[in-house]
Structure 1
Amino acid sequence: MLYLLQQLLNGVHSAAIYALLAFGYALGNGLLRRTNLAYGGIFAFCGQTMILTAVYGWQVLWLTLPATVAFGILVALAYAGLLSRLLSRAVFAPLATRSPNAIVAATLGVLLVLSELSRIAADTHDYWLPPMLATPVVFASSGNFVATLTVIQLINTEIVVLVIVGGTAFLARSDFGRHWRATADDPFAAQLCGIDTARVFHRALLYGGLCAGLAGVLAALYYGNIGFGAGLVYGLKILFITAVGGYYAPGRAALGAAIFGMAEALWAGYFPIEWRDAWMYALLAAMLVLAGDRKDAPSAV
C-alpha cells in the first residue's frame, strides 16, 4: 500500500506541470482553434533560459544562489511574455483565418528556431542547477519504506494550484473571462456586441504563454535541466490532452492533464518505463476517437 502511495506522490509534480501547461494551452487555443506547436517550444525555451541565466549570474555576476535563481526566473518570464506577444501579433493574428496547416507549419518553424537558439546559447552543453530544497517530507512510513515528497515538489505544486484556481476564478468572474467565453463561442457575434475581440485574443495568448513559461521555470527548478527536444514532447502531449478535454474549459483541461500525469507515474511504477509514452499516446488517441464518435452520434431527442 505504501508503494502505491509513493507512486501517487511521484505523480503529483508531473501532474501539476501538465495541468499548468494544459490550462494555458486551452486558454489560447479556445480562441485560436489551431494546432499550436510553438507552445511546447516556449515551455522548453523558458526553462533553458532560466538555467542559462542562472549559470551566468553565478559564474559572471557572482550572485548568491537565491539571487541568481531569482534573476533567472525573472528573465525567463520576461522572455515568455515577449515571445507570446510577438507570436500573437506576428504569427497567429495574420494566419488565424488562413488554412489550419499554415499555423501548424509556422509554429513548427518557431519550435525549431527556439530549440536551436537554446542549443546555440548553451553551446550544445547541458548545464545543471544544483539540487534545491530537496529535503524529503515524510507522508507515511512502515519499517524501512518511507513515502515522501521533496520541499521543491510541494512548493511547485502549490504554485500551480494557486495559478490554476486563481485563473479559473478570474475567468469565471472578470470582464475578460466573459469576453473570452463570448469570443470563443462566436467571435463575430462578440464583435457585434462591442467586444474588442483582437484585444481578448492577444491577452489570452499572452496569459497562455506566461503559463508555459512558468511551467518551464518550475520544471527547470525541480529537474535541474531541460533537454533541447523537450518542447516537442511536452507540446504533443498537451495537444492531445486538451483535444480530449476540450479547448473551451481551461480548468477542465487542467484537471484532465493532472490525471494524465498521475497515470504516467503509475505506469512507471508498475510497468516497463520504455513503453510508457507509446501506451499513453495510444490511450489519448483512443479517447479522441471515442470523443469524436460521441459528437457524431445522432441525438436521441
Structure 2
Amino acid sequence: MLYFLQQLLNGVHSAAIYGLLAFGYALGNGLLQRTNLAYGGIFAFCGQTMILAAVYGYQALWLTLPATIAFGGVVALAYAALLSRILSQTVFAPLASRSPNAIVAATLGVMLALMELSRIAADTHDYWLPPMLATPLVFASDGNFIATLTVIQLINTTVAAIVVTCGAVLVARSNFGRHWRAVADDAFAAKLCGIHTTRVFHRALLFGGLCAGLAGVLAALYYGNLGFGAGLVYGLKILFITAVGGYYAPGKAALGATAFGIAESLWAGYFPIEWRDAWMYGLLAAMLVLAGDRKDAPSAA
C-alpha cells in the first residue's frame, strides 16, 4: 500500500506541471481553435533561459544561489511575456483572421526556431542547476518503507495549484472570463455586443504564455536541466490532453492533465517505463476516438 502511495506522490509534481500547461494551452486555443505547436516551445525555451540566466548570474554577477535562481526566474518569465506578445500580434492575430489553418505550420516553425535559439545560446552544452530543497518529507512509514515528497516538489506543486485555481476563478467569475467565453463561442457576435475582442485575444494568449513559462521554470528547478527537445514532447502531450478535455474549459483541461500525470507515474511504478509514452499516447488516442463517437451519436428522442 505504501508503494502505491509513493507512486501517487511521485506523480503529484508531474501532474502539477501538466495541469499548469494544459490550463494555459486551453485558454489560448479556445480562441485560436487551431493547434499551437509553439506552446511547448515556449515551455522549453523559458526553462532553458532560466538555467542560462541563473548560470550567468552566478558566474558573472557573483550572485548568491537564491538570488541567481530568482534572477533566472524573472528573466524567463519576462521572455515568456515578450514571446507571447510578439506571437500574438505578429503571428496569431493576422493568421486567425485570414488563414487559420496556417497557424499549425507557423507555430511549428516558431517551435523549431526557439529550440535552435536555446541550443545556440547554450553552445550545445547542458548546464545543470545544483540540487535544491531536496529534503524528503515523510508522509507515511511502516518501518521498512517510507513514502516521501521533497520540499521542491511540494513548493512547485503548490505554486502550480495556486496559479491554476486563481486562473479558473478568474475565468469563471470575472468580466475577462465572461468576455473570453463569449469570444471563444463566437468572436463576431461578441464584437457586435461591444466586447473588445482584440484585447481579450491578446490577454488570453499572454496569460497562456506565462503559464507555459512558469511551468518551464518549475520544471527546470526540479530536474536541474531541460532538454532542447522537451518542448515537442510536452507540447504533444498537452495537445492530446486538451483535445480530450475540450478547449472551452481550461479548468477541466487542467484536471484531465493532472489525472494524466498521475497515470504516467503509476505506469512507471508497475510496468516497463520504456513503454510508458507509447501506452499513454495510445490511451489518449482511444479517448479522442470515444469522445468523437459520443459527439457523432444521435441523441435519444
Tell me the TM-score range normalised by the shorter chain. Answer: over 0.9
* Deviations, residues 14-62 of structure 1 (Å, cap 9, x unaligned): 0000000000000000001010000000000000000000000001111
Aligned counterpart, 1:236: 236
- Please list every run of 5 or more consecutive structure 1 residues that lacks an aligned counterpart in the other structure: none
Paired residue secondary structure (1:149) = strand
Paired residue secondary structure (1:225) = coil
Q: Report the Cα distance in structure 2 between the residues aligned to 1:208 and 1:282, rounded to whole angstroms.
A: 27
Query: Closer, same or farther in 2 for the Cα pair 1:272/1:98, shift >3 Å?
Result: farther
Aligned counterpart, 1:150: 150
Aligned counterpart, 1:218: 218
Aligned counterpart, 1:57: 57
Paired residue secondary structure (2:97) = coil
Tell me if the contact between 1:141 and 1:147 (Cα under 8 Å) persists in the aligned partners. yes
Aligned ranges 1:136-147 → 2 under 5 Å: 136-147=136-147
After TM superposition, the structure 1 stretch with the greater mean CA deviation from structure 2, 163-172 or 240-249, is 163-172
Q: Report the Cα distance in structure 2 between the residues aligned to 1:299 and 1:271, rounded to whole angstroms.
A: 39
Paired residue secondary structure (2:127) = coil
Tell me if the contact between 1:35 and 1:100 (Cα under 8 Å) persists in the aligned partners. no
* Deviations, residues 109-154 of structure 1 (Å, cap 9, x unaligned): 0000000000000000000000010000000011221100000000
Q: Report the Cα distance in structure 1 between the residues aligned to 2:214 and 2:8, rounded to whole angstroms.
A: 23
* Deviations, residues 247-288 of structure 1 (Å, cap 9, x unaligned): 000000000000000000000000000000000000000000
Q: Report the Cα distance in structure 2 between the residues aligned to 1:173 and 1:271, rounded to whole angstroms.
A: 42
Superposed CA RMSD in Å reads 0.7
2:117 matches 1:105: no
Query: Structure 1 counterpart of 2:49, which letter?
Result: T
Aligned counterpart, 1:17: 17
Q: Report the Cα distance in structure 1 between the residues aligned to 2:89 and 2:280, rounded to whole angstroms.
A: 34
* Deviations, residues 222-258 of structure 1 (Å, cap 9, x unaligned): 0000000000000000000000000000000000000
Q: Report the Cα distance in structure 2 between the residues aligned to 1:299 and 1:139, rounded to whole angstroms.
A: 48
Query: Structure 2 counterpart of 1:201, which letter?
Result: F
Aligned counterpart, 2:84: 84
Paired residue secondary structure (1:130) = coil
Aligned counterpart, 2:94: 94
Tell me if the contact between 1:21 and 1:215 (Cα under 8 Å) persists in the aligned partners. yes
Q: Report the Cα distance in structure 2 between the residues aligned to 1:268 and 1:100, rounded to whole angstroms.
A: 38
Amino-acid identity (%): 84
Shift of 1:101: 3.5
Paired residue secondary structure (1:96) = helix
Shift of 1:98: 4.0
Shift of 1:296: 0.7
Aligned counterpart, 2:252: 252
After TM superposition, the structure 1 stretch with the greater mean CA deviation from structure 2, 98-107 or 179-188, is 98-107
Give aligned pairs, total: 301
Query: Structure 1 counterpart of 2:68, which letter?
Result: T
Aligned counterpart, 1:121: 121
Aligned ranges 1:168-207 → 2 under 5 Å: 168-207=168-207
Aligned counterpart, 1:38: 38
- Please list every run of 5 or more consecutive structure 2 residues that lacks an aligned counterpart in the other structure: none
**Deviation beyond 6 Å, 4+ runs, structure 1:** none
Query: Structure 2 counterpart of 1:134, which letter?
Result: A
Query: Structure 1 counterpart of 2:17, which letter?
Result: I
Tell me if the contact between 1:26 and 1:253 (Cα under 8 Å) persists in the aligned partners. yes
Shift of 1:183: 0.5
Query: Structure 1 counterpart of 2:136, which letter?
Result: P
Shift of 1:100: 4.3
Aligned counterpart, 1:70: 70
Shift of 1:171: 1.1
Tell me if the contact between 1:49 and 1:75 (Cα under 8 Å) persists in the aligned partners. yes
Aligned counterpart, 1:48: 48
* Deviations, residues 76-113 of structure 1 (Å, cap 9, x unaligned): 00000000000011000111134444111100000000
Tell me if the contact between 1:44 and 1:231 (Cα under 8 Å) persists in the aligned partners. yes
Q: Report the Cα distance in structure 1 between the residues aligned to 2:39 and 2:161, rounded to whole angstroms.
A: 20
* Deviations, residues 157-176 of structure 1 (Å, cap 9, x unaligned): 01111111111111111110
TM-score by length of 2: 0.99
Q: Report the Cα distance in structure 2 between the residues aligned to 1:44 and 1:25, rounded to whole angstroms.
A: 14
Q: Report the Cα distance in structure 2 between the residues aligned to 1:106 and 1:185, rounded to whole angstroms.
A: 24
